[in-house]
Amino acid sequence: MSQVTGSKVPFTRENVMKCLCGICPVQTESQCVEESVRKLGGSIAESPNLSPENVPGLYCSSGTANCPDIDPGKPCVCAGCGVYNGYALGCGPPVHHFCLNGGSSA
C-alpha cells in the first residue's frame, strides 16, 4: 500500500512502522492522538485502515497534524527517525516538526 501525498516521503505501511511520531514528546500527551490510535485498534502499524487522514504520524509524508492538542513547545524527535534519515529530510524544508510545518517536499 502506497498513497500519494505530494511529499518526498511515500505514505506506506513500511514507513508508518519506522515512524517515531508515536513516541514524540510533541504528541504523547494528546488526547486527540490517543483517540485516533484507539480508533485504529491500538496498533497503527497493524491497522487495515492506514491512510494519511486517520494515522496520527508520518507527518513528513502526510503534512500537519489534525489534532489541535499537540504541544509544539516540546522537543521534536524527527532527527532520530529512520524515515527522516532514509529520505535525507534534514535537507528540508522543513527540517523538523513536520506535524506543525507540513510534509517534506525537499
Render each residue's pLDDT in the chain as its tens digit; 106 residues. Answer: 444 455 789 999 899 989 999 899 999 999 999 998 888 876 666 777 788 888 889 999 998 998 999 998 999 999 999 999 999 998 878 888 999 888 887 6
Which domain does 22 fall in, by range? 2-101
* E strands in 1-106: 2-3, 11-12
Give the total number of structural domains in the chain: 1
Instruction: Please state, in angstroms and rounded to a whole number, the distance separating the CA atoms of residues 88 and 64.
Output: 19
Q: What is the pLDDT of residue 2?
A: 46
In which residue are the cell numbers 502499524 written?
A: 45
Q: What is the pLDDT of residue 91?
A: 85
pTM score, whole prediction: 0.83
Instruction: Please state, in angstroms and rounded to a whole number, the distance separating the CA atoms of residues 62 and 41.
Output: 20
Is residue 12 helix, strand or coil? Answer: strand
Instruction: Please state, in angstroms and rounded to a whole number, the distance separating the CA atoms of residues 94 and 20.
Output: 17
Residue 106 is assigned to a structural domain of this protein: no
